[in-house]
Structure 1
């Protein structure tokens, strides 16, 4: 079971494990969402681009960062839903880059219903050189501890 709203330490960052972004990730994502832009799927085209090679879809990296955070076992069984998302794409991620995320609980507040609250998590997504490639935050509806256990 994941953490309840009250269990999060505000402003204490945690680093996820790394994950290398490969050909399969980009190809599967392109097929899943239908985004076959040549910047992602055509190496010859990309050699002439400002990136000098293929780059991963920005939303693929965003989704992967959230997946890496979920491996921290913070929200399994206690997240009730995604309420919001704010994201910025700072640098390209090329095939073969390894990303990880520095995730920081920014705010945890009760909602009008006693069994739930709202959690904001900040993200810095970093490549293997510790350069920030994406930043953002997500807002989650989270379970609170049962009143008898508070």
Structure 2
């Protein structure tokens, strides 16, 4: 157990860019600017104008979960659970291998919502975690407006899929403001 904790801490230090004895220093992670997409991301949206959003409109965001994503999330969040970072430890668990953090995976929902027209502000999010996500899995977050609550607020179903399997199911309420000039 001690070795897995040490390995998890080393992974966290590495993700923060703190070199360890004998390590080659890796360059910092690629920086992403607002409204910029990486080539491996895929986005699909049914409506491009905030004032025309309504029930039935959808947005999807697809991404492959990488080892780098998991390690950077561990470093940023402080969640260095060896289930996510240590192959040997994770092989002995019910999952028989490493899995991605549930909160990292649920972040794909936020990524999808960020692509709605206007300035999307989370008001609430309920989640149910149904299946583990492995490193290398290609996931799609699907969000659909199911109710217009008035005052630019909407209730949406939120789902993350790995092909046909639902890994996360939930519901969100968002406020969509106009973009500042």
Normalising by the residue count of structure 2, what TM-score does the alignment of the two structures yield? 0.66
Work out the number of aligned pairs and report it.
132
Superposition pairs of residues 16-31 of structure 1, within 5 angstroms: 16-31=60-75
Larger Rg: 2
1:127 CA displacement: 0.4
The runs of 4+ residues in structure 1 deviating greater than 3 Å are 11-14
CA distance in 2, matches of 1:8, 1:122: 15
The gaps in structure 1 that reach 5 residues or longer are 112-116, 145-150
Any idea what SS the aligned residue of 1:53 has?
coil
Partner of residue 74, structure 1: 116
Residue 154 of structure 2, aligned match among 85, 107, 119: 119
Residue 91 of structure 2, aligned match among 32, 35, 47: 47
Q: Taking CA–CA contacts closer than 8 Å with sequence separation of 6 or more, which of the two structures ends up with the larger relative contact order?
A: 1
Contact map agreement 1:123 1:135 (CA 8 A) in 2: yes
Contact map agreement 2:161 2:167 (CA 8 A) in 1: yes
CA distance in 1, matches of 2:174, 2:113: 13
Any idea what SS the aligned residue of 1:106 has?
strand
Kindly report the root-mean-square deviation, in angstroms, between the aligned alpha carbons of the 2 structures: 2.1
Normalising by the residue count of structure 1, what TM-score does the alignment of the two structures yield? 0.78
CA distance in 2, matches of 1:11, 1:39: 38
CA distance in 1, matches of 2:129, 2:79: 17
1:122 CA displacement: 1.1
Contact map agreement 1:69 1:101 (CA 8 A) in 2: no
1:108 CA displacement: 1.4
CA distance in 1, matches of 2:123, 2:62: 26
The gaps in structure 2 that reach 5 residues or longer are 1-34, 36-47
Contact map agreement 2:109 2:142 (CA 8 A) in 1: no
1:13 CA displacement: 4.4
Contact map agreement 2:109 2:143 (CA 8 A) in 1: no
CA distance in 2, matches of 1:20, 1:87: 20
